[in-house]
Amino acid sequence: MSAIGTKTFFFFEGEHQPAEHTISQPDYFQAADFVLPRKGITLLYGNKGPGSLIGAAVRESASTGLGVCFADIKVDIGEWDSNKHKLSTFKSCRFLNLPLRANREVLDDVNQRWNQWLDREGAPREDFPRKPSNRMDLLDRLVEQEPYRELNAIAYDAVTRFGIAKFVTVFNLEAILADQVTVIPPQTNLRFRLPDHA
C-alpha cells in the first residue's frame, strides 16, 4: 500500500483551538464561482499551492485575529505507479493527478465527458483537465463512471486568490488514514464529512 500526503488548514475563533473540528467544505481562498465536488473531501496536495495558501492562511489569521490550525493527512492510493496514469491502471493505483501524471488517453477521455456535461447545461466548453475549471462539481459525475469509480482521490489545478494551487478531492473517505492525521498544534481531533451530509 502507498499513501500520498495532503494538507489542510482551518480557522477558529477565540483563544483556544477546538477539541474537535470537521472538514467538509473548506475555504482555500478559491473564487466565489468555484464549485467544489460534494461527493468527496477536498484537501491540498503537492508543492504547488499549499505553500502559498498556508502562507496566506497565516496572514489571514494575523489580520483577522482568528486562530489557525494546519493538518497533514495521509491517503491510501493502493500501489504507486511512477508512470503516467492510463485508464487501465486505476484498479491498482487509485490516485489520478491531473493533468501532469495522466497520459493523453486519460486527458482526452476526461475532457470529452466534461464537455458533454457542459453542453447539456448550455455552458461554454472547457479545456479541463489541461487547464483549470471552476466546475469541479463535475468530478462528482466522473467518479460515478467506469473506470473512474475505482479512484480514491483525484488531484487537479485550481484557481485561487493567490494563483494556481493543487487541490485533491478524496472520494473514498475510508482511504483517509485516520491514525496518521497530524494537527498542528495537536489539540484538535479532526473529522471529515461529505458536503452532501453536512
Read off the pTM.
0.95
Is omega for the bond preceding 147 within 30 degrees of 0, making it cis? yes
Composition of the chain by helix, strand, coil, percent to 5: 30, 35, 40
How is the chain split into domains, by residue range? 2-197
Region of 12 on the Ramachandran plot (φ > 0 left; ψ -120 to 50 alpha; else beta) = beta
Q: What angle do CA 80, 151, 40 make, to 5 degrees?
A: 120
| pLDDT digit string (tens) for the chain, length 198 residues | 899 999 999 999 988 999 999 999 999 999 889 999 999 999 999 875 566 899 999 999 999 999 999 999 999 999 998 999 999 999 999 999 999 999 999 999 999 999 999 999 999 999 999 999 999 999 999 999 999 999 999 999 999 998 899 999 999 999 999 999 999 999 899 999 998 764
| Among 41, 59, 64, 66, CA closest to 178 | 41
